[in-house]
Amino acid sequence: MDYESGEFGRGGQNLCAVELTYRGTLGEPFVAFAIDRARRLSLNGWISPGPDGVRIAAQGPQAMVDAFEIVCSLGPIQADVREWCRSDLQPGLNRDGFERR
């Protein structure tokens, strides 16, 4: 699959891994939404809800990881994402699929 779309998409197929932390009024609707979207985008990684927010490690083609970050920032209608941060990780999460921790 080719993820390149002109200069804007250059490098979109390069493998990348990130850690994302989302904060706000999230709950189970956000977790289910994020898992579904990660699987639809064929990302590898995990999601871990906690009292201070939801942590996510995601790995895949850069264009798909970027799309995942954006769609999660919008969240489902039942959630209110107030802020998020992204940190780059070294690719190599050593897992297939996307799971809840």
First-last CA distance in the chain: 30
Question: Which pLDDT tens digit goes with each residue over 45-58?
Answer: 999 999 989 999 99
80-89 vs 98-100, strand pairing mode: unpaired
Residue 8 has pLDDT above 70, yes or no: no
Predicted pLDDT at 6: 46
The helices-and-strands tally (H runs, E runs) of the chain is 2, 5
**The CATH number of the domain covering residues in 15-90:** 3.30.70.100
Strand ranges, E, within 1-101: 15-25, 44-50, 53-61, 80-89, 98-100
Q: Which two tokens stand for residue 41?
A: 């985008």
What's the chain's average pLDDT? 90
This prediction's pTM: 0.87
Beta-carbon neighbour count of residue 17 at 10 Å? 20
Average pLDDT over residues 27-31: 97
